[in-house]
Structure 1
Amino acid sequence: MHTTPDQFEVTDRQSFITLLELMQQELAADPDLWENKTLPDFLAAIGAYANDIQGYYDNKQMRKNADEAAWSTFADILKGARVYE
């Protein structure tokens, strides 16, 4: 079974590294899945999504505090930045 970045759960540093590898593979295989394909666009989206991620958690009733640093939060920001407009 092929795992996509959205399906992959990050729990620690090593799984975060694996997520980055999955994201690279996804971008290379199907760049149309990404809204933010260039580094400047992706970096801008990371900043915007990091600013808005608590709202995402609240809307999904995830009971996570985005102000508490966690590998999973970093991963959620990167996953979201792929498609954030």
Structure 2
Amino acid sequence: MDLDSQALNMSSRADLVEFLGGLADSFATHPERWQNANLPDFLNAWAAWLEDMDGYFQNRGESVPTSASWQLIAQMLLAARVYE
């Protein structure tokens, strides 16, 4: 399954783990497909998309998510800085 399909069908922590592995593989094998090819650019793009995500969902005719725990995502990123 491609990364876009994985993202749309994500339903568990295990799915996210598999997705992240696929994302890393994508960068390793096809870096030319990545516009944000370093960590600062990637994080800045992530922040910009997050800030503008309402428009993304509205343009797709979907409701903007309100129940996602963005705190959990932040905690995962913080833990990833030191977890081996």
- TM above 0.5: yes
Per-residue CA deviations over 1:26-74 (Å, capped at 9, x if unaligned) read 1111011111010010010111111111110110012232x42169xx7
Q: 1:79 maps to what in 2?
A: none
- Give the greater-gyration-radius structure (CA): 2
Matched-pair identity in %: 29
Query: Structure 2: which 5+ runs fail to align?
Result: 74-84
CA distance in 1, matches of 2:69, 2:10: 9
Tell me by how many angstroms 1:16 deviates.
Answer: 0.9
Q: 2:3 maps to what in 1?
A: 5
State the structure with bigger RCO (CA 8 A, min sep 6), 1 or 2: 1
TM-score by length of 2: 0.71
Q: 2:59 maps to what in 1?
A: 59
Q: Which has the higher helix share?
A: 2
CA distance in 1, matches of 2:12, 2:69: 8
Q: 1:81 maps to what in 2?
A: none
CA distance in 2, matches of 1:44, 1:60: 23
Listed as ranges, the matches of 1:30-69 within 5 Å are 30-65=30-65, 67-69=66-68
In the superposition, relative to structure 1, how do residues 45 and 37 fare at CA in structure 2: closer, same or farther (>3 Å)?
same
Q: Which one-letter code corresponds to 1:5 in the other structure?
A: L
